[in-house]
Structure 1
Amino acid sequence: MPHPVSERNIPVRDDDAISTRALRWTDGARAHIQRLRVPGPAPLAGVALLCLLIGLLFLAFQVRAIFSAQLQQEYIGLVLEAVERADTARASALALRDASTSDTAHRAAYRDARIEFAARLASLHALIISSPAPAPALPSSVLLPAADLKAASAALDSAYLYWRAERERASADVRERIVSVSHTLIALSSIVFGVLITALGMYAKRNRQLVGLSSEFEHASLHDAMTGLPNRRKLFAALEETAEHLGDGTNAKRIAVLYIDLDGFKRVNDTHGHRIGDEFLIAVSRRFRQTVRNSDVVARIGGDEFAVLVREFSSDLELAAIAQRIITCVAETDGRMDLSLVRASIGIASYPDRVTDYWRLVAAADDTMYAVKRNGKNGYAFASPAA
């Protein structure tokens, strides 16, 4: 602490000594001030440029962070969508478990609901472990249909709470960074206007690139890479969309699935090599697309198995004609490539006359196709009404 000042602490000076000391201090201060020159335009411009560069670097860092946060938000959105789908499957399982009915159909429905719930949890688990940032995965013990439903529900609830918190955190981070960017823009508005236009152009270009990449990724996830046909996921999406617009009463439409297996295709790969086998699949896929109507969906399920979703038909004769054309396509393609090995077995299932649940159309057609293979192959058959 400063000591208190009293008259005893102040030395006694005469006027001449004080004047001499003051004069010396004034001369020294004047000489020092003269050595400090006022900066000219070039240094000021350099300082302004340095401030601009610092501001631009800060803005670039923040914009990049916002892009990363936006991508993170999109990923979190995908995870939360998977959680919602799993929650829907869980609700179905819980409703069937708590129902009082105990007949065989109810038990089968409950078993199917548990299998669907386990499949949704497995999809959610696969999405979580692919996260670019470390995230708690679902316990492997809850990914099986036989897992404890209470434990699986607790794991799903925990995942929902975690990813919802992550979404809120990411949103708060985006908002905070946007506020920082706005403050910086206000401070540098006089010199950053032109650069801001460029940054907005870059932002729009980046968004277009992201949209293009998203479209490419979506197309790749829904189509077979070799043949270009829709895959199983796309087939089921088209099946669900078609079933939702069938109508009721006398105006109700019927839909059908033709499940196709190429008999003898394995011998093509074994005898002529996989290159010839791939060429055959590509050629027959092209013929399939040309054979069916534009409104119908031809999908490659995997390997040498295909499926055709007929969005509307009038009679079984129409389905039989489609099946016969497909068999002919396979035989003609085999003949053009001089293989004499490949034919087709086709199972046909229709909704709602033969199959009462459209989700089982593909499975029913698949089972019927195997019945055709057991009965001699190279033909088609319709699923029984009990399928």
Structure 2
Amino acid sequence: MAVEASKTSTRIPEPLLALRPGPPRANGWRLRHGPATVAVASLLCLLIGLLYLAMQIRAAFSDQVKQEYAALVLEAVERAETARARVGAWEQVPGAHESAADGYRQARAELTRRLASLAALVNASPADAPHIPSSVLLPDATLADMDALLSDASSYWHAQRDADSADVRKRITHVARVLIAVAALLFCMLITALGMYAKRNRQLAGQSDEFQHAALHDPMTGLANRRKLFAALEDAATQARIYATPVKMAVLYMDLDGFKQVNDSLGHRVGDEFLIAVSQRFRQSVRRHDIVARIGGDEFAVLVREFSADEELGEIAQRLIACVVRTDEQMGMGMVRASIGIASYPDLVDDYRRLVAAADEAMYQVKRRGKNGYAFASRPR
């Protein structure tokens, strides 16, 4: 049944107005705090932490190389000291024996070779270390100069090795602490991102529910709309097929008689108030699992999911008519009544998809007979 556009106006509720996108702000670009932002921040922190770790590990390797180099120098010092001890031992042997003089010369030559190896190793050091003078390597160099050189080299490189070892331990400690800090930071950011993601999902789910509710309900009265009514019909029939149980359901199609005069004489605001008030009474007059829908304008429909006999449907129709009368009397109009058509499945209509159309046709019969009443759809022949 067609309804004139002037019968009623439609107001959008405030929750839906809040969902409308507003004008862009004039304060420029703003950082949005969300999971993506946290993820980018976590990645930056991870990169910074990895860079710092790489620098610390590189420094630790450098200190390790220095420590190993110092160990090599100390090993060369020990060999030179051993050669110096042999020279000292041959000095204690009386020089009358030719073998003693030959042994001393060989020990002195060995000491010179050891010092030359030590000098080559120390002088090639990449670090700033005291060089060994070439004068000590000459044949006429005194043993006292060699002893002083070996003592100084041993003291310096022992200290250098201890310092490098301490630096390696310090670097390793820093690396361990940074790893722990980065792991803790990433864990906290991960938990934060998951929390923000869950919150965003809840917000989106809430908005989705609001949009879904708006798509299936009348924005002014809050009743189900035509789409929701047909979906409920299909759902009831599907449940009956799945569980193989017989189903009896009915649709009461209702049109408000005289409502157009309310809009024309009293204004659309009063008409909207009447529709909201009568809709609340409709919901209160039916069972909880039955559906009251606003089809459009001043047309309503009630889906009765289960009933025992036609008399029960007639009682429901009388209650709906009484709701219209009470609302009319409360608002002091004296001009609005209701015509209702009733169609039931499978008694009067053999196809549940024709329930609404059959109830609409039955409602027209009531209007042709004088309105303000109800009638059942004709039984199939």
TM-score, normalised on structure 1? 0.50
Task: Write out per-residue CA displacement over residues 324-350 of structure 1, whole angstroms, 9 at most, x where no aligned residue.
Answer: 111111111101111011000000000
Q: Name the CA shift for 1:258/1:57 in 2 (closer, same or farther; >3 Å).
A: farther
Match for residue 258 of structure 1? 252
| Secondary structure class of the residue paired with 2:223 | coil
Correspondence list, 1:335-350, <5 A: 335-350=329-344
SS of equivalent to 1:294: coil
- Give 2:312's aligned residue: 318
What is the correspondence of 1:346-385 to structure 2 with a 5 Å cutoff?
346-385=340-379
Distance 2:242 2:204 in 1: 41
Counterpart code for 1:55: L
Compared CA separation, residues 265 and 194, structure 1 to 2 (3 A): same
Residue number in structure 2 paired with 1:184: none
Look up the SS of the partner of 1:245 in the other structure. helix
| Structure 1 range deviating more: 368-377 or 249-258 | 249-258
Q: Residues 13-92 of structure 1 correspond to what in structure 2 (within 5 A)?
A: 55-56=43-44
Instruction: Tell me how far apart the structure 1 counterparts of residues 219 and 336 of structure 2 sit (CA, whole Å).
Output: 22
Given the superposition, is the C-alpha separation of residues 198 and 306 from structure 1 closer, same or farther in structure 2, using an over 3 Å criterion? same
Structure 1 203/56 Cα, relative in aligned 2: closer, same or farther at 3 Å? Answer: farther
Q: CA deviation at 1:353?
A: 1.3
Residue matched to 1:303: 297
The 2-side partners of 1:256 and 1:225 are apart by: 25
Q: Aligned with 2:252: secondary structure? A: strand
Cα distance in 1 between the residues matched to 2:42 and 2:287: 62
Determine which structure has more spread, i.e. the larger CA radius of gyration. Answer: 2
| TM-fit CA distance, 1:247 | 6.8
> What CA deviation, in whole Å up to 9, does each residue of 1:99-156 have, x standing for no partner?
xxxxxxxxxxxxxxxxxxxxxxxxxxxxxxxxxxxxxxxxxxxxxxxxxxxxxxxxxx
Q: 2:339, 2:184 → 1: CA distance? A: 74
Which of 188, 194, 201 lines up with 1:194 in the alignment?
Answer: 188
Match of 2:102 in 1: none
Distance 1:290 1:361, change over 3 A: same
Aligned-partner Cα distance in 1 for 2:44–2:242: 62
SS of equivalent to 2:374: strand
Letter matched to residue 376 of structure 1: G
Gaps of 5+ in 1: 1-51, 60-187
- Work out the CA distance in 1 between the residues paired with 2:192 and 2:225: 41
Residues 340/251 of structure 1: CA separation in 2 closer, same or farther (3 Å cut): same
Aligned to 1:162: none
TM-superposed CA distance for 1:192, in Å, is 2.9
Instruction: Indicate the RMSD between aligned Cα atoms, in angstroms.
Output: 2.6
Matched-pair contact (CA < 8 Å) for 2:237–2:247: no
Q: Does 1:236 align with 2:227?
A: no
**C-alpha displacement at 1:296, in angstroms?**
1.0
Equivalent residue, structure 1, for 2:212: 218
CA distance in 2, matches of 1:58, 1:364: 69
How far off its partner does 1:246 sit? 3.9
Distance 2:262 2:339 in 1: 16
The aligned amino acid for 2:232 is: A
**Equivalent residues in 2 for 1:110-149, closer than 5 Å:** none
Note the residue ranges of structure 2 that are not aligned, 5 or more in a row. 1-39, 48-181
C-alpha distance in structure 2 between counterparts of 1:217 and 1:56, whole Å: 37
Matched, 1:203 2:197: yes
Counterpart of 1:382, as a letter, is: F
Q: Could you tell me whether the CA contact under 8 Å between 2:42 and 2:186 is conserved in 1?
A: no
Relative contact order, higher structure (CA 8 A, sep 6+):
2
Partners of 1:53 and 1:293 in 2: how far apart? 55
Contact in 2 for aligned 1:330/1:342 (Cα 8 Å):
yes
Shift of the 211–251 alpha-carbon distance from structure 1 to 2, 3 Å rule, reads closer
Aligned partner of 2:279 in structure 1 is 285
Structure 1 pair 249/219, CA: closer, same or farther in 2 (3 Å)? closer
Q: Is the 8 A contact 1:247 1:253 kept in 2?
A: no
- CA separation of 1:193 and 1:248: change in aligned 2, threshold 3 A: closer
* Aligned-partner residue type, residue 320 of structure 1: G
State the 1:225 CA deviation.
Answer: 1.0
Q: Which is worse superposed, 250-259 or 208-217? A: 250-259
Per-residue deviation at 1:251?
6.3
SS at match of 1:244: helix
